[in-house]
Amino acid sequence: MKKIIFMDVDGTLVNDNGVIPESAKLAIREARKNGHLVFICTGRSKAELFPEILEIGFDGIIGAAGGYIEVGSEVLLHEVVKKEYVQQVVEYFNRHGIDFYLESNGGLFASKNCKMRIRSIIEKLLIEEPGAKEEIEKGIQPFHDSLIDDEGLFREDINKISFLGSKVPIEMISEEFTSKFTVIPSTVPVFGKNSGELSVPGIHKATAIEKLLEHLNIDQEDTFAYGDGLNDLEMIEFVQHGIAMGNAKEALKKAADDITDTHNEDGIYKSFKKYALI
């Protein structure tokens, strides 16, 4: 029986240094050979899906935390943030000294100090984990290099906004923008305390999965999903088999139907074997 599998990226498909374990690549390729469909289901926008990820081979993409759906070359959905909302966020973050970047399918547009801040995070990781130099340069460096910091930020093509940690409490940011966005905290751990993302309200990974299943005429009972973060919660609860990684947030583990090992412990491969997907 053909199944459809939804795969988060950060903390699930890739490890903390942004690198994909070989066992995960093998699991996805073998599952597709067996006739199952595998979709990326991520908070990342398409501009952040670097070649190493896409070269694994997927049947499509759910991106921007549910705001974008692509099946093959067909785009089923593409929601964008209203330009006036983008302007409000840019002005608020600049006023409060919060580093951020705007995500579109065509690029990642960074605030004045954001790229430098990401560089300092990479340098700190290299000092703390000298043995992981190759992984960090392979996984996180492409993200740094893709940031565009010399273009206007009041844009009409923005899918989502990510922000780095600062002294401004996440609760204060949430209160400011909860009427205009879904505010999700700590989606990228290395971004630090009070970091998070702002996405189009009323849209999340589960709403996108539901729309995709209807398009493909696939039953909900044939669905699997893998995740680790709070933006995976709706997805994990919606699918038939919601599986949390061993490194997942506690709230996600409690909501999940099963828990596998971490990404670095071959969690995806082991779970695919357990459920006879491979």
Where are the domains positioned within the chain? 4-79+203-274, 83-199
Q: What is the pLDDT of residue 131?
A: 84
CA distance linking residue 40 with residue 109, whole number of Å: 22
pTM for this predicted structure: 0.88
For the chain, what is the mean pLDDT? Answer: 94
Got the DSSP string for 218-240?
--GGGEEEEE-SGGGHHHHHHSS
Tell me the two tokens of residue 4: 């459809």
Using DSSP's 3-state secondary structure scheme, residue 275 falls into coil
The separation between the first and the last C-alpha atoms of the chain, rounded to the nearest angstrom, is: 12
Nearest to 33 by CA among 56, 6, 51, 53: 56
Q: 151 burial class (0-12, 13-18, 19+ CB within 10 angstroms)?
A: exposed
Max intra-chain CA distance, the chain: 54
Task: Name the CA radius of gyration of the chain, rounded.
Answer: 18
Within a 10 A sphere around the Cβ of 256, how many other Cβ atoms? Answer: 22
Could you give the CA distance from residue 254 to residue 14 in angstroms, rounded to a whole number? 22
What is the DSSP track for 131-175? GGHHHHHHHTHHHHHHEE-SS-S--S---EEEE---SS-HHHHHH
Q: Could you give the CA distance from residue 88 to residue 79 in angstroms, rounded to a whole number?
A: 18
Q: What is the pLDDT of residues 181-203, one digit of tens each?
A: 999 887 777 899 999 999 999 99
Q: In this predicted structure, which of 106-110, 139-143, 170-174 has the lowest mean pLDDT?
A: 139-143
Segment 126-138 shows an average pLDDT of: 84
CATH node for 83-199:
3.30.1240.10
Residue-level pLDDT at 186: 79
Distance from C-alpha of 93 to C-alpha of 183, rounded to nearest angstrom:
14
Residue 135 — pLDDT band, cuts 50, 70, 90? confident
* pLDDT bucket at 169, cuts 50 / 70 / 90: very high
Q: Choose the CATH number for 4-79+203-274 among 1.20.1250.20, 3.40.190.10, 3.40.50.1000, 2.40.50.220.
A: 3.40.50.1000
Antiparallel, parallel or unpaired: β 68-71 and 74-78: antiparallel
DSSP state for residue 230 in the 8-state scheme: G
Structure tokens belonging to residue 166: 């600062």
Are the beta carbons of 173 and 163 closer than 8 angstroms?
Answer: yes
For position 170, what pLDDT does the model report?
95
